Each structure stands twice: as structure tokens, then as C-alpha cells.
Structure 1
Amino acid sequence: MSEPLAALDGLAPDEFLGRLSALRAERDRHDQEIRAYLAYAREFTRPRPYTLAVLAEAAGMSISGVRTAYTAADLDTVARAVGHAPRSQR
């Protein structure tokens, strides 16, 4: 991380803001992917879901954070990707 930070000093304001926006977009993509993984782990795995505690540890979240992290839209995205419906509808 130190190399990218060292380059900050030479960036023009527009370059800096562009890079910051790109980083935010990358973070948003990662957050969306994490939500999809959590939805898959809780709603699509068989014979039983991963436990909230195990997922919380792996994702660096609280148990309640894992429980509420994904939405119906995330479930739809995963269902389309894996080709079958979740075990149950939330």
C-alpha cells in the first residue's frame, strides 16, 4: 500500500478525485460480491447453511451484520448465477 500512497503527492486534483472515485467503485463491487457470497452461504448451500458465526469471522462482520447483509435482490442475483432457487424465501 505504501507505493500507491507515495504517488499521491504527484497527483493533480482531478487525478486524485478520479482515483478516489475509482477506489469507491471498486469497494462497492467488493461489497456487492460479499453480499452475494453471504446470500449463497446462507440460502443456497446444501444440506445446511454455513453458520452465522463462521461467516461473521470470515467476513470480518458481526453475526447480526451477516444476518442482515443481503437482500432479496442479492438472492435473485445468486439464484440466476447458480441456476436454482434458494432453500427458502426470506
Structure 2
Amino acid sequence: MSEPLAALDDLTTDDFLRQLTVLRKQREQIDRQIRACLAYAREFTSPRPYTLASLAEAAGLSISGVRTAYTPEDCETVARALGRAPRGQA
């Protein structure tokens, strides 16, 4: 067992479950950030989007996974953050 995992052995059940919850929330935040980055790369860059292949490699996804990874809501989040509409909708 690696050192971080060995430290889990000293936790009470409640502390362990709290730690697991913290890790899940961190993963969800990272997933939201990845979706926003993919939305930005595909919908907001000019003069054209990043390629699906380059994004797939960087994100550890398949090409089809990149196509379906982000939602219109992710695009809206990016648009609000940038203060502009996606490419082609400006």
C-alpha cells in the first residue's frame, strides 16, 4: 500500500467517508473544468477549433468522447466567463 493509502488505515469510519466525499467533490470539480476547457477549445477558439484528435489525446478521451463530453450548459458557462458568445454565434 502506498503512503497516502496507508494513512487511510488510521482513519475512523466517519473520517474515511468524509475523505472519500472530499475526493469525489474534487473529481467532480475537475470534470467540470475539463468539460469547460473542451467547450472552449471546440466552440470559442478562432479562427477554428482545436482538433478532436489533439483534445482526445490531451484529455485521455476518445474522439467521440470529446464530441459528447461537454453540454450546451458548459458552453453557457464558458460564454459567461468570457463575456462573449461561441464562435459563429457572435
TM class by smaller structure: over 0.9
Amino acid at match of 2:84: H
Aligned positions, number: 89
**In 2, Cα distance between equivalents of 1:20 and 1:4:** 13
**In 1, Cα distance between equivalents of 2:3 and 2:55:** 32
Kindly provide the CA deviation profile for residues 39-88 of structure 1, in whole angstroms up to 9, marking residues without a partner as x: 00000000000000000000000000000000010000000111110014
Structure 2 stretches of 5 or more lacking a match?
Answer: none
Structure 1 stretches of 5 or more lacking a match?
Answer: none
Q: So what's the TM-score if we normalise by structure 1? A: 0.94
Amino acid at match of 2:37: Y
Partner of 2:76: 76
**In 1, Cα distance between equivalents of 2:17 and 2:88:** 43
Amino acid at match of 2:42: R
Helix, strand or coil for the counterpart of 1:81?
A: helix
Q: So what's the TM-score if we normalise by structure 2? A: 0.94
Amino acid at match of 2:15: E
Residue 65 (str. 1) matches residue 55 (str. 2): no
**In 2, Cα distance between equivalents of 1:83 and 1:73:** 15
Deviation for aligned residue 1:3: 2.5
Deviation for aligned residue 1:6: 1.3
Helix, strand or coil for the counterpart of 1:10?
A: coil
Name segments (4+ residues, structure 1) moved above 2 Å. none
Q: Pairwise CA RMSD of aligned residues?
A: 1.4
Amino acid at match of 1:57: E
Partner of 1:47: 47
The aligned runs of 1:1-20 (5 Å cut-off) are 2-20=2-20
